[in-house]
């Protein structure tokens, strides 16, 4: 048992964390490693991404939320060398539900490499440092997280404060927190601010997550019209398109109805590119016209149909005038295109961003990869404590254990302590009995037919008080002396059996004492794995629930929670396996003690019959009984002589 405990301690020591590197500031108690992986093992981005607002998605699968402030005000993000503090914006932080969304401004995301940052937390006095205006670079002119109150217009997170003029139809769960819902009614209007104006052949980027619930017909996701100029982004029978002044991109693959997909459009002055899920799917050799009016999200700009109907009439009048002036002159008036009436968008839009520059393709792909449900760009490492020692892999595992699994682990810990305490105590108890019984055997072997020789020896009694055989011996001698005091001198078979029954009663009590609390070990053996399995099932349920609510199902998000849930099963086995070995060992030793007692009862009764049950055919040396001298130990020979003068037990 001691060797087993030493082995357990040695294994625990092997998990001790290593010394951590330099600490950013001593006021922060903990930190967590976060890796940005653009290597082939991660997001597989070969080109440099540049400055990126990176989404850090925390949930119970990768973060325990222990030690943080309730509103996340103590969160700080620092470069891997602890030299530069990174700007960040907390979109949402809910430690009760175990979910948080934080945007971190990464100055430079390299291509094909892995770089680390630190998230520090655990400072109750830390002021809030969340600020979206400095987290998103100045080229972002509008960023909507749709994290406001229901019925309120969306608010811009950038420094340009381009808040929406109208509210969406509703707010629902999106890819990143909350999303705007569009029910095919009025669009959400965006302001006509100077920061959102697009010059002729200007640069522009649109990006958002869309979910088309009813992709039939031609629906507009984003529309901006300025006189005859227009920029339209939408779906034609579910196929994404971008249209500039009537020139539309080639058709590609349709989107999946009811599924979130990342949609982006970039314009660099000579080419307009359409991206779906971070991949370029179509392009136009065109430049954007000047646009400085309001824009619509989730539908067309109000009054656009009237303008479209008026323009063909004006073109026709102008063409007739030119023909009247010179009937022989060729005309360059293009055929009038049919007027298209666009339907409002039916679905949801999340994380809308507008930029006054053409974002690189690597950044578009990084956004689609990092923000989606299967993020391969961001990986979460272990938590470390400010004392200089990290928690290590085991501490990371403990940090991911949900609350209900902790309850199961606490029950298993109690069962483990209880079973180990019983095993140690029973092992020591049986060991004392076996050693004392062995010593009693040595002493009793010298008794011979003088059965009462040890009864009054107080030194022997004190030395053999732990021997179960001594208690059987005391019971038998007490029965003999009680009968002698009552005047019973003949040892009939019934008397001997009565003494045996008294000894068997004591032997039964001794066996009961040996088996006391062994049922607790049986419960630990049989119930420990099942209780651990219960904790695993509950933990997996919580992990999947939290992952579904967070919208992140990548392996880095699920694996820690699953491993933590399986910890409960491992704990159940850790309770049951030592209890099984200890139970079998103690039961075996109990059987040895029980066998010793059974053999001693048989041996004592046999000696008793040998001493007091003499054969009747033995002739008397003297017909006149003589009183023998009192000799022997405790008058045993005198007692034998008195019995010899009476009729032998068992004669007619």
Read off the pLDDT of residues 224-255 as tens digits, 9 standing for 90 and up: 999 999 999 999 999 999 999 999 999 999 99
Question: Whole-structure pTM over 0.85, yes or no?
Answer: no
Residue 391 pLDDT > 60, yes or no? no
Task: Provide the pLDDT confidence category of residue 3 given band limits of 50, 70 and 90.
Answer: low
- For position 625, what pLDDT does the model report? 42
Task: Provide the pLDDT confidence category of residue 621 given band limits of 50, 70 and 90.
Answer: very low
Contact 410, 572 (CB under 8 A): no
Choose the most confident range, by mean pLDDT, from 359-363, 390-394, 440-444.
359-363
Read off the pLDDT of residues 519-564 as tens digits, 9 standing for 90 and up: 999 999 999 999 999 988 988 888 888 777 766 566 656 777 788 8
Contact 587, 536 (CB under 8 A): no
Give the contacts of 108 (CB within 8 A, at least 6 positions apart): 48, 50, 51
DSSP β-bridge partners for residue 358: none
Read off the pLDDT of residues 67-77 as tens digits, 9 standing for 90 and up: 899 999 999 99
Task: Provide the pLDDT confidence category of residue 341 given band limits of 50, 70 and 90.
Answer: confident
Give percent of the chain above pLDDT 70: 82
Task: Provide the pLDDT confidence category of residue 378 given band limits of 50, 70 and 90.
Answer: very high
- For position 647, what pLDDT does the model report? 37
What number is the average pLDDT over the span 382-393?
63
Residue 131 pLDDT > 90, yes or no? yes
Residue 179 pLDDT > 50, yes or no? yes
Burial of 490 (0-12, 13-18, 19+ CB in 10 A): middle
Q: Between 518-550 and 403-444, two packed helices, what is the crossing angle to 10 degrees? A: 160
Mean pLDDT of the chain, nearest integer: 84
- For position 354, what pLDDT does the model report? 97
String of DSSP letters for 150-187: TTSPP-B-STT----SS--SEEEE-SSSEEEEEESSSP
Q: Domains in the chain and their CATH numbers?
A: 27-139+375-389 (no CATH), 140-320+336-356 (2.60.120.200), 408-612 (no CATH)
Higher pLDDT: 362 or 616? It is: 362
Read off the pLDDT of residues 463-515 as tens digits, 9 standing for 90 and up: 999 999 999 999 999 988 898 888 877 778 888 899 999 999 999 999 999 99
Work out the number of other CB atoms within 10 angstroms of the CB of residue 484: 11
Please tell me the distance from the alpha carbon of residue 605 to that of residue 583, in angstroms, as a whole number: 33
Residue 317 pLDDT > 70, yes or no? no
Please tell me the distance from the alpha carbon of residue 264 to that of residue 242, in angstroms, as a whole number: 10
- For position 372, what pLDDT does the model report? 82
Q: In what order do the strands lie in the sheet with 114-121?
A: 85-86, 76-79, 114-121, 30-37, 378-385
What number is the average pLDDT over the span 160-172?
95
Burial of 19 (0-12, 13-18, 19+ CB in 10 A): exposed
């Amino acid at each position: 048992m001691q060797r087993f405990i030493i082995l357990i301690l040695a294994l625990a020591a092997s998990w001790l964390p290593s010394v951590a590197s330099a600490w950013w500031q001593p006021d922060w108690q903990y930190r967590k490693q976060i890796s940005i992986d653009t290597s082939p093992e991660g997001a597989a981005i070969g080109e440099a991404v540049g400055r990126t607002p990176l989404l850090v998605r925390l949930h119970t699968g990768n973060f325990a939320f222990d030690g943080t402030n309730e509103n996340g005000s103590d969160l700080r993000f620092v470069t891997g060398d602890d030299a530069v503090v990174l700007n960040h914006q907390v979109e949402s932080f809910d430690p009760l539900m175990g979910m948080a969304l934080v945007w971190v401004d990464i100055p430079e995301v390299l291509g094909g490499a892995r770089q680390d940052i630190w998230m520090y937390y655990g400072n109750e006095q830390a002021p809030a440092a969340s600020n979206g205006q400095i987290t998103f670079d100045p080229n972002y002119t509008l960023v909507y997280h749709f994290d406001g109150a229901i019925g309120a217009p969306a608010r811009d997170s950038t420094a340009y404060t381009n808040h929406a003029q109208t509210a969406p139809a509703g707010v629902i769960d999106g890819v990143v927190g909350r999303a705007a819902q569009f029910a095919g009614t009025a669009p959400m209007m965006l302001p006509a601010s100077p920061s959102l104006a697009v010059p002729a052949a200007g640069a522009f980027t649109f990006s958002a997550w869309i979910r088309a619930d009813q992709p039939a017909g031609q629906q507009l996701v984003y529309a901006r019209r300025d006189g005859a100029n227009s920029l339209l982004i939408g779906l034609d029978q579910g196929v994404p398109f971008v249209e500039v002044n009537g020139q539309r991109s080639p058709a590609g693959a349709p989107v999946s109805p009811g599924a979130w997909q990342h949609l982006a459009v970039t314009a660099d002055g000579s080419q307009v590119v359409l991206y779906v899920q971070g991949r370029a799917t179509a392009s136009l050799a065109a430049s954007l016209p000047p646009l400085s009016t309001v824009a619509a999200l989730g539908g067309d700009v109000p009054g656009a149909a009237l303008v479209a109907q008026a323009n063909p009439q004006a073109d026709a009048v102008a063409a007739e005038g030119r023909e009247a002036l010179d009937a022989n002159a060729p005309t360059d008036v293009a055929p009038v295109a049919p007027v298209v009436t666009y339907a409002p968008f039916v679905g949801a839009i999340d994380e809308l961003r507008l930029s006054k520059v053409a974002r690189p393709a690597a950044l578009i792909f990084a956004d689609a990869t990092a923000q989606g449900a299967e993020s391969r760009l961001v990986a979460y490492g272990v938590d470390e404590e400010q004392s200089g020692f990290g928690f290590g892999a085991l501490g990371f595992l403990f940090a991911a254990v949900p609350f209900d699994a902790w309850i199961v682990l606490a029950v298993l810990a109690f069962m483990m302590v209880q079973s180990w305490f019983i095993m140690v105590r029973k092992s020591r108890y049986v060991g004392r009995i076996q050693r004392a019984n062995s010593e009693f055997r040595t002493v009793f072997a010298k008794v011979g037919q003088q059965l009462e020789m040890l009864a009054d020896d107080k030194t022997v009694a004190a030395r053999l008080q732990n021997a179960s055989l001594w208690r059987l011996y005391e019971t038998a001698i007490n029965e003999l002396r009680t009968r002698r005091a009552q005047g019973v001198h003949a040892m009939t078979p019934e008397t001997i059996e009565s003494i045996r029954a008294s000894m068997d009663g004591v032997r039964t009590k001794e066996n009961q004492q040996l088996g006391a609390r062994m049922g607790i070990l049986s419960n630990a053996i049989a119930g420990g794995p099942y209780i651990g399995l219960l904790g695993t099932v509950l933990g997996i349920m919580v992990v999947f629930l939290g992952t579904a609510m967070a919208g992140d199902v990548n392996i880095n998000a699920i694996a820690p929670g699953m491993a933590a849930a399986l910890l409960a099963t491992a704990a159940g086995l850790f309770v049951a396996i030592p209890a099984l070995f200890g139970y079998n060992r103690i039961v075996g030793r109990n059987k040895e003690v029980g066998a010793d007692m059974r053999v001693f009862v048989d041996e004592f009764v046999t000696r008793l019959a040998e001493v007091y049950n003499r054969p009747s055919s033995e002739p008397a040396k003297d017909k006149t009984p003589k009183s023998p001298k009192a000799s022997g130990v405790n008058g045993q020979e005198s007692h034998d002589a008195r019995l010899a003068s009476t009729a032998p037990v068992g004669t007619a």
